[in-house]
Structure 1
Amino acid sequence: MNAIRYIRKEIFDATQVEFAALIGVTQASVSRWERDVSPSLDDMRKIRLAAAERGIDWDDGWFFQSLEKSTSEAAE
C-alpha cells in the first residue's frame, strides 16, 4: 500500500474526497499521490497540521516507510 493511501485510510479513515477537503487540496491531487507522485513539502505540512487538529498522534515516518514491510511484520 502506498504511504499516502495508508495515511488516508488507516490514520484518517477518510475517502479521497474527505481527505482532500481536510487538507485543502483537490481529490485529483490525492489520487496522484496515491499513484506514487509524492506530495510537496507544503502538502506534507498540511497533512501533519490536519492530524494535529484532529488529535492524531503523528509520525513523519509514515511519509517514507515501506508499508509492505511494515504490514508483513505486523502480521507475524
Structure 2
Amino acid sequence: PQVRMEAVLACAAIPEARSVLVAAAAAESPRDGWIDYAFSQAVHHLKGRWLPAFRRGELDFGAQRKGLGAVLGASGSEGVLDE
C-alpha cells in the first residue's frame, strides 16, 4: 500500500491531465485511509487539468472502471458528466 500511496502523491506533482490516470490505477486495488486521503488530494489538485480533458473526450480511463468511479466520486463536482 505504501508504494501505491507514493505513486499517487508523485502523480499529483506532474501537472498533466493524464497524471490522474496513475491515481485511478491505484484506486483499482484495495486502499487504506492514507491512500484515500492522498488520492482525494491528488484528484482535487489535478482537477483543473484532467476535468477539461475528460469533458473533451481526451482522457481515456480504459478498463479502469473502479478508478474512474473513484476519480469522479472524489472530484466533488456535481454534474461532471452533464456536459
Calculate the TM-score normalised by the size of structure 2.
0.27
> Could you tell me the TM-score, scaled by structure 1's length?
0.28
